[in-house]
Structure 1
Amino acid sequence: MSERERDMMEATLRLIGRSGLKAVTHRAVAAEIGMSLGAITHRYRSRDLLVEAALNFALIREVKRLRALALRLQSEALDVGAWIDALVGWYAKELDTEPEIHVACYEAFLAAARDDRYRPIVAEWHQTWRRSAELALTAAGSRAPRLHADIFVSATVGMVLEQLAAPRRSFKKEMRAALSELVRGLIGQR
């Protein structure tokens, strides 16, 4: 992907993150990045193509970032507390610096609920998270790591969505406490 296309995708995602899918028009994207309207419409003839490209871009990029995070966290997986700390720290930083991108990813999840085209990349996103969580939960002694990873990922996704919708200053502390309690419950430790 060229730098110009990447700029278009990131501008489209910022618009989606700030105002939802309805905010995306060729003209709005052009204004967001200071590019000519013709350059946008030449590459993406319809608004639907522009939105589809941006949502796919967001999810593919997020899968790559999650894989990189999972690799970094693997060394911490044997210490579940350190793994949770690193995960929570990563999300806290992400939501402070790029909340619009994460909102756009949730928009992509909703798009997948309505349209089969988005389902494979959303499934890949979940598989990436599940594999990372499975590794840590196996190391923690889970007797059902796949099931427990699904529960852990669902809880994490829910907490991140809640933080995007109603930000709290205590997010990092609360998320760490909630995930730690969840893992203790899943593996039977009190």
Structure 2
Amino acid sequence: MEATLRLIGRGGLKAVTHRAVAAEIGMSLGAVTHRFGTRDLLVEAALNFALVREVKRLQALALRLQIDALDFEAWIDALVGWYAKELDAEAEIHVACYEAFLAAARDDRYRSIVAEWQQTWRRSAELALTAAGSRSPRLHAEIFVSAVVGMVLEQLATPRRKFKTEARAALSELVGGLTAKR
């Protein structure tokens, strides 16, 4: 599955063929074709694998971040640090996840797992935003998660060396605006 995701990350869904996956992992074409009879089954399995994997990783991250949730600046530092490392080490996998989000827009087979991904993020952000003094933590969590998703996508598309510093500053500014007394 990870080989298929690397192919998706490098060349989009069109890059996935039984032959390309077999070459990527050094297996016979017959072995890949036997396990996944059609290209659509192979792509579907890989996208589901990516989303399930990311939900589990986000749930683990959310648990780790709960320790810092009462100190919002520490929470942002940990979050941005995690993403900076992730994007350096596994950019192709994250690109494949965005492909999965687009697939969910076209095909409802992927929508429930994408919704679970979003809900995992939102719950984590709600906890931290509540601690930061938000009067509307659910709404503010949706705004915050949308900003993070956009920043990560932008970093994948047009990498910046100062991503960590800039993302931290932007998220701190966003939270400051969301939690300001009116």
Corresponding position of 1:20:
12
Q: Normalization by structure 2: what TM-score?
A: 0.99
Corresponding position of 1:164:
156
Displacement, 1:58?
0.1
> Which of residues 83, 89, 100 is equivalent to 2:75?
83
Displacement, 1:55?
0.2
Q: What is the letter of the counterpart of residue 118 of structure 1? A: Y
Distance 1:24 1:75 in 2: 40
Distance 1:92 1:69 in 2: 14
Distance 1:18 1:95 in 2: 14
Q: Would you say 1:130 and 2:122 are equivalent positions?
A: yes
Q: What is the letter of the counterpart of residue 57 of structure 1? A: F
Corresponding position of 1:115:
107
Distance 1:188 1:70 in 2: 24
Displacement, 1:169?
0.1
Q: Would you say 1:44 and 2:36 are equivalent positions?
A: yes
Q: Would you say 1:105 and 2:97 are equivalent positions?
A: yes
Q: Would you say 1:142 and 2:134 are equivalent positions?
A: yes
Q: Where do 5+ consecutive residues of structure 1 fail to align?
A: 1-8
Distance 1:24 1:56 in 2: 15
> Which 4+ stretches in 1 moved above 6 angstroms?
none
Q: What is the letter of the counterpart of residue 160 of structure 2? A: R
Displacement, 1:64?
0.1
Question: How many pairs does the alignment contain?
Answer: 182
Displacement, 1:178?
0.3
Distance 1:97 1:116 in 2: 30
Displacement, 1:27?
0.1
Residues 164-183 of structure 1 correspond to what in structure 2 (within 5 A)?
164-183=156-175
Distance 2:62 2:26 in 1: 36
Displacement, 1:49?
0.4
Q: Deviations over 1:6-29 (max 9, x none)?
A: xxx000000000110000000000
Displacement, 1:141?
0.6
Distance 2:177 2:27 in 1: 52
Corresponding position of 1:29:
21
Q: Would you say 1:154 and 2:179 are equivalent positions?
A: no
Distance 1:139 1:173 in 2: 23
Q: What is the letter of the counterpart of residue 115 of structure 2? A: A
Distance 1:18 1:82 in 2: 33
Q: Deviations over 1:39-81 (max 9, x none)?
A: 1001100000000000000000000000000000001000000
